[in-house]
Structure 1
Amino acid sequence: MNLFLDTAEIAEIKKVHDLGLLDGITTNPSIIAKSGRKFTEVIKEITSFVKGPVSAEVLSTDSANMIKEGLELASIAENVVIKVPLIPEGLKAVVEFTKKGIRTNVTLCFTANQALLAAKAGASYISPFIGRLDDVGYDGLDLISEIREIYDNYGYETEILAASVRNPIHFKEVALRGADCATLPYSVFEMLFKHPLTDIGLSKFLEDAKKLTW
């Protein structure tokens, strides 16, 4: 499963990139607004060193302007993926982007029906928001399983990019259920390394190492 970071913070991206574990980046207007920087400037900086997919979201809600903005974003770098909301105008734009060979990430997916429509439109990625479904009393992980089964039934090549991943259990479960990618906040990425027995074992190894000569 590919590991994406859901952030526009350059320092966080570089930390994971330097570990050699980073497969891609997802951003959205809310994330980039927190940086206080110009939207396209942030995307340019990220793509200057991240070579995997970098999702950049359009700001309009009508297909004509989505396409206009998407073409501008796609011109920044070859690895920019145009992120569009899962609304009729968004899927209309996806069809056009697909014809032009531009990759897309359809976001704000909350049902298997929506995911099926996105795949039919030619989306490169579908982003089911599992944590937000949990927040309103649904099991977000079941959605990953449903989409996986539907895509496998019909041979859709759209990749499942699990989003709104809130904790290490989410990360493990989307992997078990066949997600192609998961995008994480940096705080959740750090949690993936943590286990008390790892800490205890390392402490013991370091104590014993003091008794050794090299």
Structure 2
Amino acid sequence: MTEDYAARVQGEAIPKERVAAFLDRGGATPLGGAGNCATSHNTAAHARRHRQQRRWATQVVITDELARRACTERGLPPPPDALPTHLLNVPETDIAGLGSIIAAALSHSPATRALLADLEHEQDIPERAVRDYYDRNQDRFLTPDALRRGVDPYDESATSDIQPYGHVRHGIEHDLRQAAARRAFFTWLDKARADIEYAEGHEHPGDPTHQDHEHRH
């Protein structure tokens, strides 16, 4: 008998219809990740791409479900009952850094965004870490005038060519806090989905146990 669920999360079934609805609402094209590799129009390639899209979409839906539960545990405001029909724009750099599954979840899922924001608020970035980043990466903080003059950022620059620490401190702290929050999110997600039971055809697209697995996320 074919299962009527895509996966089980802590014993609770996630209906296949939820994955299908996500795909129908415009989630059919992974954001630069699994499923994009099949470009041929032949039947086998089309079927393979469809399977990978379904597996990819299952991961997006599961990430949303797990984030909803985490938001409830944290006492955060409840998100909408369903993934929204509209997409937020996700920068290409975020897709590269997050992977297409998490980037799509952040784009579609208010719960995922709320959880990541809550994790970001929890991150404590010591002043010494901010200062150390500034001292080690001064090539990133050339003044606009230095850039116009074509100062080589990898040569030793004059002090006047470097933006003062006080001018860039807030941006550095924000970037470090965001990076720390993303690491915390990845750690949380790895643990949260460790015991998920997948129905056949809904496995993670990078799972090497199925024949046409795709290693990219």
Q: Same fold (TM over 0.5)?
A: no
The structure number with the bigger radius of gyration is 2
If each structure's strand is expressed as a fraction of its own residues, which one has the higher value?
Answer: 1
If each structure's helix is expressed as a fraction of its own residues, which one has the higher value?
Answer: 2
User: TM-score, normalized by length of structure 1?
Assistant: 0.21
